[in-house]
Structure 1
């Protein structure tokens, strides 16, 4: 939309955010997991999370280091408030509106953070996209090994791996 069709980053961001809001409204009307409502929301939130980072960096001149730190802090704060109010971060216990709000906010921030961190590692540290992708994949593999062999908490392992899937995918996508 931004490049091929020529809408630009701002218009694309606004359009995709509007579609995401509609998808989330639909998702919030479901009382349980419904794939046809859930997965479009996931795809759209991944796009919007990436567009948030791209807009900050490309349109407003925010440095990738700054964006990475800011999204890390915002995500940590989201997890802290979520845990303080709900006593869990488990995706298997999302059965209230408040927990679902925390969940979708965390997902949005993971995609924004992942876009910033992925670009930071690949571009700012003069690392090619293949090496960057292998690095993120390797860290995910280490998390999986820590879960299986060292009894790393499953919820922590899930969220750490989930956060790293965005820069992993972005690195291979950019490659």
Structure 2
């Protein structure tokens, strides 16, 4: 097992700084992924198999570029996150609807895949901390865990509505409550930071999924019935704005923190 020296200012870091901006961008990216996935499979009526093929192709292109990049590049990183959320939507929907595995079985399979990925990552590298993603092997484990978590979040979020009978609004509120509880534990208990991160990462996905469904599903299903493509475009613009604002702020903070030459 090779342990990685985790340093926040490592010049080769490949993951965004975990700040408020990160979590805001993550929620918007998950909402965008849900809406875009539904637009491809349902609005365009291509089906989940074709939708999965398209989204996995796009994800593969983003992922290759991301892994080959020499350092963290904000728009490439977030495009890859959106790729995982969109493909995750198709993976979960194909499993639950086309393969008829249901929400509970699909969630269990995806949860097991995520735990296995994190477990192997920990055994190989000695940590699952995202600040240690500074080499190719750790980055591949990171993106594997991200894809599993975003697929899991879709299945879990849909399950809250279609299995437990919650509305899209109450489903989102439940996920917000869980995220709040996880963050509270971070401040009041000595819990591993990597566990806190991945727990919050998982539950921001069903929050975004249910919120996306709330915006675009027809009124008969409890949604607002907004156009999926227009909603996706708004999410793209909002995500870009968040990334630009918080990256500029981070550069200012880093600039003040450096000693004069």
Pairwise CA distance, 1:104: 0.4
Aligned residue pairs total 175
Counterpart among 101, 104, 121 of residue 160 in structure 2: 121
Measured against aligned partners, the alpha-carbon deviations of 1:75-123 in whole angstroms (never above 9, x if no partner) come to 1111111101110001111111110110000000001111111111221
State how far apart, in whole Å, the 2-side matches of 1:119 and 1:4 are.
18
| 1:48 aligned counterpart, secondary structure | helix
Describe the shift of the 1:138–1:42 C-alpha distance in structure 2 as closer, same or farther (beyond 3 A).
same
State how far apart, in whole Å, the 1-side matches of 2:41 and 2:104 are.
24
Counterpart among 33, 38, 44 of residue 5 in structure 1: 44
State how far apart, in whole Å, the 2-side matches of 1:49 and 1:20 are.
10
State how far apart, in whole Å, the 2-side matches of 1:3 and 1:128 are.
20
| 2:140 matches 1:101 | yes
| 2:161 matches 1:161 | no
Q: Which is higher, the Rg of structure 1 or of structure 2?
A: 2
Pairwise CA distance, 1:174: 1.7
| 1:88 aligned counterpart, secondary structure | coil
State how far apart, in whole Å, the 2-side matches of 1:15 and 1:128 are.
30
Pairwise CA distance, 1:160: 0.5
State how far apart, in whole Å, the 1-side matches of 2:172 and 2:147 are.
21
State how far apart, in whole Å, the 2-side matches of 1:147 and 1:60 are.
38
- The two structures have a TM-score, normalised by structure 2, of 0.65
Pairwise CA distance, 1:150: 2.0
Gaps of 5+ in 1: none
For residues 17-166 of structure 1, what are the structure 2 equivalents within 5 Å?
A: 17-166=56-205
| 1:3 aligned counterpart, secondary structure | helix
State how far apart, in whole Å, the 1-side matches of 2:136 and 2:50 are.
30
Pairwise CA distance, 1:152: 2.5
- The two structures have a TM-score, normalised by structure 1, of 0.95
State how far apart, in whole Å, the 1-side matches of 2:102 and 2:44 are.
27
Give RMSD over aligned pairs: 1.1
Which segment is superposed worse, 1-10 or 31-40? 1-10
